[in-house]
Structure 1
């Protein structure tokens, strides 16, 4: 006598291991460790698995296909022959997934001669017979034949599919599913089906006749309707029968499954070692959250509660921890501070600025944010040791304290000041020895002193002419209103211009413009600037739209927002500079972002008129001239390009002359423009197609120009090839000063990912060295400028802006020019353009 069935003992979740691994592999564009190991399938699989395991009410079982061929391959040699070749880096990831499943204490099954589907079918029917609900996580539609009141499929979109959903979508019942698959076939598994019978016809036949056997009988009798289906099925009867046999799951295998056992014990230490090796520090907390009473961890990746001691006035050398209500706003409040001396944390319950008086510097993660908060309130203190800068120099992908703590300490960024102080001290200890000699010099001579320079710049801020911005905003608003009217006139009706779908309808359906681009995700016709630019001459609505977009963005992002960000206490604009946000080493700024003020259009440049000097002062702008090209000629060691800079030639005119074989005096503007486009585009992977579009010249002409360019400057091609070879071997590239960027995707199997990584690899040494030179110049200049009463205000790309007492403007101009030209020795001279004016615009 069989045991009675429990009414509702729980839920069993069956994971189709190979299906989830494949889905994860292609869902995540690329993910590799610092060693270059592809891990996107492992990460996606494990993240989904951990989500399932959070629900204690369900049992999770993982099933894989066995490596050997199945009985279906023996029956049909072409079974699954139509599938795309498995990516080379996927099988190794699946093997590591198997190991992780075991370490998590889960039951894992695979059986030689059978597919995962057959094991899933067997366990489903067994669990169902014991009263369990069953959920099958798979993208394989074969599982639909198992569906009933107790069984559901979780598809790739996370939707729960049952009999009703299958019937609604396909027009057949789940009992007809195998018959449906037999008629339609399956190209992915190379199941033949009935040639010429599609899903709609197959569903109609099964609706009319009830079953595949009835359909085949009618076809053999010659009475199947419609007539077209009669002919196609009569010619494919054996294929259809065979397809049905291939599609049927086996549901009675001898599988030693323990239904009802939620999970075995997590093998924690090896599991954590695997996660660290895979660099999945972000998943450690999820794993730790699964631990039950039977799982006794030897060590915890969570931050330990620090030893606390009573507050005492700190001595030099302690590490500070702090919480600001916002780190990119000088008006933010200092919510909490603490110190760590290597033994105990001391929390200052009520923050008193007097406790910082006498400190020359503050050591902390993101020390600059704490220093600027204090400086603006009158406490003369500078940023000191900062392990965040060290972590960023070790790996430029580590851009936040959270990432630094996860990577180097194995736990999250603490929420409280005491924990942050401890984390800062431990990071400082851990990272000191990880900086090699060159990056140690970068830290000591560039990044650390630069944080003090930037702190002073942030605290001083820059004056803006709010009245000018308000007047410009009004003028721009009027122009936007006129453009709206023009756009409505060209469209023949009013419509919400900001609506992507409405704009698509107007441009492509109503006006009949030809769209050359579709968005990847939706397949809709693109209305982005890149898609509209080629249509500029096709219809007058396009230039009106492009100008409308530019002006509305400028008005909202800068003109209207800028005046709101003026500090009421200083009357100045205080941006925040970040040293750890950009992988090339360049600075970024926020609240507001001054890096993105447009300078390519006259309207964009007009914004710079609103940045003005204090009374009795003027502004000096100093901009490195063609810095990246000069660096390219140096690093690539190309004699012809170097000679052009040594001669002081117009580099673009010289390039056009040498590439086209004409004298420089005869170079036409269009030819110079082509040379300029290639000169600046070569390091960003400029293609002939892109050059053809940008210059509106035939593709063959563009391709020929690029080919002759590399023939003229062979050193550039050699540099690219040499850099790529180095990166493929070492998985990183470096600047002249040793700033390193890891590019593990350089060996990715996905062509698009790999080519993007290649562009990063040969671009970074140039861009990164440019960033290093600018930072070094700022460090050298700051003290000398201060001695003359001048102060650095802003740094944008290859340009600095300085506020100078009018009486010493000439001396400061000479100082800036000298220091920027002499900051670094190259095989070609550096070039600097310096200008003076009452506002930023007039310095040019």
Structure 2
């Protein structure tokens, strides 16, 4: 139903939007942005954001103008007009049509006129509005519009900068009246307006200041000095006249418009909501007030077992949180219940968004309940960018995500319904949900509730030791620098490194162009000065002390005496688990301090830790996915992959492979998974670029089907817009078609790495789901998962039996063309077990 306007009075100002220009600008400015179906929408989203910003000024009348699809009179005058422009990207055209649809749905006046460009329509509207006494703002970055400037007409750039006649005079040295003549002389490469060859902006401004206009300039051409300029003007006379004709905007088109009426903006709210929901613009739906609370009949508590629950915790960590609200929704009804753990005891399984967190809280309160259906896990499988409950609910038009538990319950039920329809026929994704993600939530709930014991006294002693070492390094850095300074200040460090010590910057910051002091920039300077290595050491130790040693004791729960890490199933694009509070994924395993931190994770008295680590799982997955016979044979015959690769790469027998060759092969083996370039390899191995190139070439000659797999995967990404794991988990790669080479190449690396890394993640999750019930009867429990490793706590007398079960289950998680191998260790702490 059409909504009446709230504004029937005369508008204060007319805003004229250059629709085509703004759409094109957003298309390139925002990079790739797609819906969960892979439909590009960056131009629509950016346009909508700019338009809504303009519409917030209620005193303005907003008119949007587009180029007509037919050629304009300028194309007839000059066949090469805009001919050198790159072809319009195919995915821009459908976005432009959606933008026009959005303009109409917002109730805005929209104009395009056959035979004319948007500029001419804009110019005619601006002069008509000016004549009627309105203030006018033209929203565009197109400099052709500067000829329209006056006391009442301004150009408003999308970034907010306002251009006035004074701006033009100060920046270009010409008046608005001279702007078309200025463009006639200088030309415009973007529109293929030729101008006069050899006449730049400064010369053009000087000529117009002296002669007033292009016409007068050519009328007195014989008097122009110096002769070289006169000669250029004479040679370019026809081009100047043509350029002027092409540059001049027509302001006399007969366009009927009632500026007072266009201010009323009637909006079809239902159609606009449906349009924005289809594009998954949840934040815009919310901003426009189009997300409505789902209507529901109030019913008495308790709800039926199949109801979706909505709950509110006062903090994200369920082991530390208090329940502030609880509700259930089913079949258009909603029931509010007491915020008590015993209310959950009536449910065999909890159906909710982030169901795991509610069950962890319930277990803490003594109520054992399993996570059930979780629409967020389903949304994550549909599109791995769906990681946040509020954004996901709004994205699919399932309602709003407020602090009201009833609203959350209704949103969860509606999201489940919507996704059920969208995933109809998606058998692989449903299999992943039923067999992997949903049961894994129960395993993770047990792990989070169980927690892990840490040796607090040991951590505090190690922190004090590191503090002394950090202070000593800081003193050494000051000595090498020749003076004291704040090591944590990037500005002071920049001055020390590049001004006072004279080191050559290896990279600059993207936004400011300043000389970078990032870890990557400093690593490239290692060897240039001893201060660099000491700064890197200072940063590494400070990070470990600040991230782990100091916070870990504070994270020990007073009731359990253990640390309860939170695991996130929707935190990564590849399917890997992530963790927080604390994040255990980032403890370095190759540094001495990282290993010593692992020593702090200990078993309870009478128990030991069992650590099980998949050996080279990603390379084994690569062998299976690529089908490369050489790679498969190495693993099938249980040979050392790095030694064998080195043997083939360097043309020597395996027994002749020295440590450098094995290290080179190991670097290439893992580097190829991440698209390692010869430049990176040369830096890591300290070899010449050409030699690094040969190493990579020999690798692909040794494993020819690996390169074919990479090409096959990239082709799938370009064709379908996504890649997938062995089990059908998807990752959308919209940047695979980017025109920016760096962006595109990064997307390509992402594309061929994800199926390998994601399949390895799926295998780990499958192993966890299968392992949890097997070890329960042995009195053991899973307590940690980090990358390719699981850590269990087992009764000391059953540790060997637990280790055997763990190896058997993990190695048998799924049958690949090559065997999975697991290294298992037992110890009183994580370091010993590792």
TM-score, normalization by structure 2: 0.92
1:392-791 equivalence runs, <5 A: 392-432=380-420, 434=423, 436-747=426-737, 751-791=741-781
8 A contact 1:281–1:410 mirrored in 2: no
Please say if 1:353 is aligned against 2:341.
Answer: yes
Please say if 1:336 is aligned against 2:328.
Answer: no
Q: 1:663-690: CA deviations, max 9, x gaps?
A: 0111122221221122112222222232
Pairwise CA distance, 1:726: 3.8
Helix, strand or coil at the partner of 1:336:
strand
Counterparts of 2:200 and 2:318, CA distance in 1: 62
Please say if 1:248 is aligned against 2:248.
Answer: yes
Consecutive unaligned residues in structure 2, runs of 5 or more: 1-7
Q: 1:243 to 1:507 in 2, by over 3 A?
A: farther
Helix, strand or coil at the partner of 1:13:
strand
1:27-426 equivalence runs, <5 A: 27-203=29-205, 220-222=222-224, 239-240=239-240, 242-260=242-260, 261-267=262-268, 271-286=272-287, 302-310=292-300, 312-348=301-337, 350-426=338-414
Pairwise CA distance, 1:793: 1.2
8 A contact 1:35–1:731 mirrored in 2: no
Counterparts of 2:591 and 2:230, CA distance in 1: 68
Q: 1:319 to 1:702 in 2, by over 3 A?
A: same
Q: 1:183 to 1:734 in 2, by over 3 A?
A: closer
Counterparts of 1:495 and 1:233, CA distance in 2: 59
Q: 1:79 to 1:545 in 2, by over 3 A?
A: same
Q: 1:805 to 1:490 in 2, by over 3 A?
A: same
Pairwise CA distance, 1:588: 0.8
8 A contact 1:36–1:745 mirrored in 2: no
Which residue among 9, 18, 21 is the counterpart of 2:20? Answer: 18
Q: 1:755 to 1:303 in 2, by over 3 A?
A: farther
Q: 1:315 to 1:110 in 2, by over 3 A?
A: closer
8 A contact 1:306–1:418 mirrored in 2: no
Counterparts of 2:664 and 2:444, CA distance in 1: 38
Aligned residue number for residue 3 of structure 1:
none
Aligned residue number for residue 5 of structure 2:
none
Counterparts of 2:10 and 2:205, CA distance in 1: 35
833-842 or 231-240: bigger deviation: 231-240
Pairwise CA distance, 1:835: 1.5
8 A contact 2:36–2:382 mirrored in 1: no
Counterparts of 1:223 and 1:829, CA distance in 2: 84
Helix, strand or coil at the partner of 1:305:
coil
Counterparts of 1:329 and 1:163, CA distance in 2: 61
Counterparts of 2:656 and 2:312, CA distance in 1: 64
Pairwise CA distance, 1:117: 1.6
Pairwise CA distance, 1:78: 3.8
8 A contact 2:82–2:190 mirrored in 1: yes
406-415 or 12-21: bigger deviation: 406-415
Pairwise CA distance, 1:21: 1.1
TM-score, normalization by structure 1: 0.91
Consecutive unaligned residues in structure 1, runs of 5 or more: 1-5, 290-300
Counterparts of 1:92 and 1:342, CA distance in 2: 37
Counterparts of 1:266 and 1:315, CA distance in 2: 40
Helix, strand or coil at the partner of 1:552:
helix
8 A contact 1:340–1:418 mirrored in 2: yes
Pairwise CA distance, 1:34: 4.3
Aligned residue number for residue 4 of structure 2:
none
8 A contact 2:735–2:747 mirrored in 1: yes
Pairwise CA distance, 1:272: 4.7
Pairwise CA distance, 1:82: 4.6
Aligned pair count reads 824
Q: 1:143-182: CA deviations, max 9, x gaps?
A: 2222233222221322223234344434444344334434
Helix, strand or coil at the partner of 1:188:
helix
8 A contact 1:360–1:380 mirrored in 2: no
8 A contact 2:610–2:794 mirrored in 1: yes
Which residue among 758, 776, 797 is the counterpart of 1:807? Answer: 797
Helix, strand or coil at the partner of 1:255:
coil
Q: 1:65-116: CA deviations, max 9, x gaps?
A: 2233333344444433454443343233223323332333322222233322
8 A contact 1:617–1:804 mirrored in 2: yes
Pairwise CA distance, 1:335: 1.1
215-224 or 184-193: bigger deviation: 215-224
Helix, strand or coil at the partner of 2:158:
coil
Pairwise CA distance, 1:346: 1.4
8 A contact 1:320–1:363 mirrored in 2: yes
34-43 or 260-269: bigger deviation: 260-269
8 A contact 1:8–1:131 mirrored in 2: no
Helix, strand or coil at the partner of 2:773:
helix
Helix, strand or coil at the partner of 2:259:
coil
8 A contact 2:66–2:111 mirrored in 1: yes
Q: 1:545-569: CA deviations, max 9, x gaps?
A: 2112212222222222222222233
8 A contact 1:622–1:816 mirrored in 2: yes
8 A contact 2:224–2:230 mirrored in 1: yes
Counterparts of 1:544 and 1:267, CA distance in 2: 64
Helix, strand or coil at the partner of 1:572:
coil
Helix, strand or coil at the partner of 2:190:
coil
Helix, strand or coil at the partner of 1:257:
coil
401-410 or 57-66: bigger deviation: 401-410
Q: 1:253 to 1:440 in 2, by over 3 A?
A: closer
Counterparts of 1:556 and 1:9, CA distance in 2: 57
Q: 1:336-391: CA deviations, max 9, x gaps?
A: 1111243421112x523332344433221111111111111222222222222222
Q: 1:746 to 1:213 in 2, by over 3 A?
A: closer
Pairwise CA distance, 1:711: 2.0
Counterparts of 1:209 and 1:483, CA distance in 2: 69
Pairwise CA distance, 1:320: 1.2
Q: 1:490 to 1:263 in 2, by over 3 A?
A: farther
Pairwise CA distance, 1:839: 1.8
Pairwise CA distance, 1:422: 1.9
